Structure 1
Amino acid sequence: MKNKNGAVCVLFNPNVREFVINLNHYKPFFDELVVVDNSDVFNHELAHQLALMKNVTYISLGENKGIGYAQNLGVLHLAASIDKICFFDQDSWTSVKDLEKLFSLLSANQTYSMLALSTDGLQSKRTNIKDVDEVISSGSIVLRTVFEKLGGFDESLFIDFVDYEFCWRMRASGYRIGIVSGTQLHHQTNSQQVLKHTKSAPFRNYYVFRNAILLIKQKLVFNRSSYVVGLLLKRAVFEIVFNDNRKSRIHFIMRGIVDGVKGRCGELVG
């Protein structure tokens, strides 16, 4: 049986027009593509448009079950002949040319189990693979055998650090991860920017701080504790000093810290 290319794309309250534009950039490359929608309401417009596309499966969850759950579910719906899995979010896209480069490199380099598109925006005529300890899931491809052997993404984290945690598990198990220069993951964002940082909702701080502490406590950060602590300190300064809704942001930071110490996971309730 000939191995085929597959992808999983996770959505949450997407702008249908913008998502379809992004999807059409890379859809021709894949033999099979599963779109998992974490939105609370069934999107009839999106379902109709995707139904007209060949080899695209649309799954509406009717509620937000978290990024890890949606990605794992998407992988389960890919055919057994798919041996390499690519992940996207609704705001990202890349070219077929860069995908061809990524997949061919992963096939040719038996020492790597995951490769990712570059996100630095730098143009390079040379194609090099830079070893890293973590990448974001969007624009990455992983060997299906490795993904399934490690049990997929940790659904208990819900959102934030889900992709990094999986990468650290890979590294702890001896697998190599690389970013490919001369490629580019394009990211379309309508979010407000503050000091070149994307402004997120205050509640996201809960998941960032809680999950970081959970992973450090469980020693699942692959010798990256100081790096993670540094990320938290920078985020705390950015959120409290340079953002609005400071009281709310501090509230969710503190709540995340407390629940992280207590070992609570899953979706934020209340």
Structure 2
Amino acid sequence: MNSYVEFAIGVVFYNPTDEEVLKVKDYSEIVPRVYIYDNTEENPNPLCLINLKQDEYTYIANNKNDGIAVALNKLCNLAKKDGYKYLLLLDQDSIFKIEDIRKMFQEIRNHASKDIGIYTPEIHYMKGNGEIRARTVQTKPSTVFSEISWAITSGSVVSLEVYSQSSGFDEFLFIDRVDYEYCVQLRKLGFKTVRISGAILYQFLGETQGGIFKFSGHNPIRHYYIFRNRLYLVQKYKENFNGIKKVAYLGLTITRHLALVLICESRKTEKFKAIKVAYRDYKKGKMGKYDPENSRELA
């Protein structure tokens, strides 16, 4: 029996393992419907179709990678159309225990507010089987909600009423900073992003590199999106980056980005090429998915 009838869950797949697909069955035990957007480019995994009753899930696959923003917008719009008030968004590799999901849903039921656009759990990052760090300081046990500036996508419960008042997730970004941009957008509209105390989601990081400097390494294409999208967001929210503030922010973030690649990362030449192409594409207004036909340096 699904007790949280106003909630649905949306999961984005990209080459999921069988174990990751099977987690959907657990989710279906606490909500009436699970929405699955499969960004796998070839031969999407049909296992979820076998292990779930058809009236418990909606499965979307286009045999291509549409990016995270397109997937999130589709999931939110479907859930809104089907009459749900809230949608919990999850990555395929996130570890979010059912009891923590229940706790989160119950706290939202008990303390929901029309000025809250996103509810998020406490996020603990993992590398392999070892915990690395929490992204934010945990709230005091006596505090149910604590306002934060932004939240990662996975684990976020989106108010679909608030979502309908926004312009949705920015599909120009494709991936990287999609979650951050949505939270900035909501804040400009007068809505809050809050963290719920006591509900914990474990999120896996990429390959961690460096000796003294610990950070999560990325492939060249990801560096392309990070660099290009940073420039795009500064321009999109230029009222937040006037004059010296813009120069200081871009100077610091770009210098740090280049320094980390130079000092700590492998495949330096490829990554510097990716950053060069990212700058060129931004200047030309090329957003969305990276197009290797127009940027042969990274092909």
Answer yes or no: same fold by TM over 0.5: yes
Aligned counterparts of 1:245 and 1:64: Cα–Cα separation in 2: 24
Gaps of 5+ in 1: none
CA deviation string 1:193-223 (max 9, x = no partner): 2144332211111111111101101216856
Check whether the contact 1:16–1:45 (CA below 8 A) recurs between aligned residues.
no
- Aligned to 2:43, what secondary structure does the other structure show? coil
1:29-178 to structure 2, matched below 5 A, reads 29-52=30-53, 55-78=56-79, 79-107=81-109, 108-110=111-113, 111-120=115-124, 121=134, 126=141, 128=143, 129-178=145-194
Distance change in 2, residues 1:106/1:261 (3 Å): farther
CA deviation string 1:112-146 (max 9, x = no partner): 22111111448778153221121111100121011
Distance change in 2, residues 1:21/1:127 (3 Å): farther
Aligned counterparts of 2:196 and 2:116: Cα–Cα separation in 1: 12
- Aligned to 1:126, what secondary structure does the other structure show? coil
CA deviation after TM superposition for structure 1 residue 163, in Å: 1.0
Partner of 2:225: 207
1:219-258 to structure 2, matched below 5 A, reads 219=237, 230-258=252-280
Check whether the contact 1:40–1:64 (CA below 8 A) recurs between aligned residues.
yes
For the aligned residue pairs, the C-alpha RMSD in angstroms reads: 2.7
Distance change in 2, residues 1:15/1:187 (3 Å): same
Check whether the contact 2:152–2:179 (CA below 8 A) recurs between aligned residues.
yes
Check whether the contact 2:121–2:200 (CA below 8 A) recurs between aligned residues.
yes
CA deviation string 1:44-69 (max 9, x = no partner): 44344454576122211210111111
Check whether the contact 1:206–1:253 (CA below 8 A) recurs between aligned residues.
yes
Check whether the contact 1:171–1:222 (CA below 8 A) recurs between aligned residues.
no
Partner of 1:194: 209
Check whether the contact 1:50–1:58 (CA below 8 A) recurs between aligned residues.
no
Check whether the contact 1:215–1:221 (CA below 8 A) recurs between aligned residues.
no
Check whether the contact 1:168–1:222 (CA below 8 A) recurs between aligned residues.
no
1:15-34 to structure 2, matched below 5 A, reads 15-17=17-19, 19-24=20-25, 26-34=27-35
Size of the alignment, in residue pairs?
267
Check whether the contact 1:127–1:182 (CA below 8 A) recurs between aligned residues.
no
The residue type equivalent to 1:172 in the other structure is K
The residue type equivalent to 2:234 in the other structure is I
1:266 is the counterpart of 2:269: no
Check whether the contact 1:114–1:141 (CA below 8 A) recurs between aligned residues.
yes
TM-score, normalised with respect to structure 1: 0.87
CA deviation string 1:226-263 (max 9, x = no partner): 66765544333222321110000011112212222333
CA deviation after TM superposition for structure 1 residue 85, in Å: 1.1
Distance change in 2, residues 1:45/1:228 (3 Å): farther
Distance change in 2, residues 1:44/1:137 (3 Å): closer
- Aligned to 2:85, what secondary structure does the other structure show? strand
Instruction: Give % identity.
Output: 24
Aligned counterparts of 1:170 and 1:204: Cα–Cα separation in 2: 25
Distance change in 2, residues 1:30/1:240 (3 Å): farther
Distance change in 2, residues 1:131/1:184 (3 Å): same
Check whether the contact 2:5–2:31 (CA below 8 A) recurs between aligned residues.
no
Larger Cα Rg: Structure 1 or Structure 2?
Answer: 2
- Aligned to 1:264, what secondary structure does the other structure show? coil
- Aligned to 2:86, what secondary structure does the other structure show? strand
- Aligned to 2:29, what secondary structure does the other structure show? helix
TM-score, normalised with respect to structure 2: 0.79
Aligned counterparts of 1:199 and 1:3: Cα–Cα separation in 2: 40
Gaps of 5+ in 2: 125-133, 293-299
Check whether the contact 1:50–1:56 (CA below 8 A) recurs between aligned residues.
no
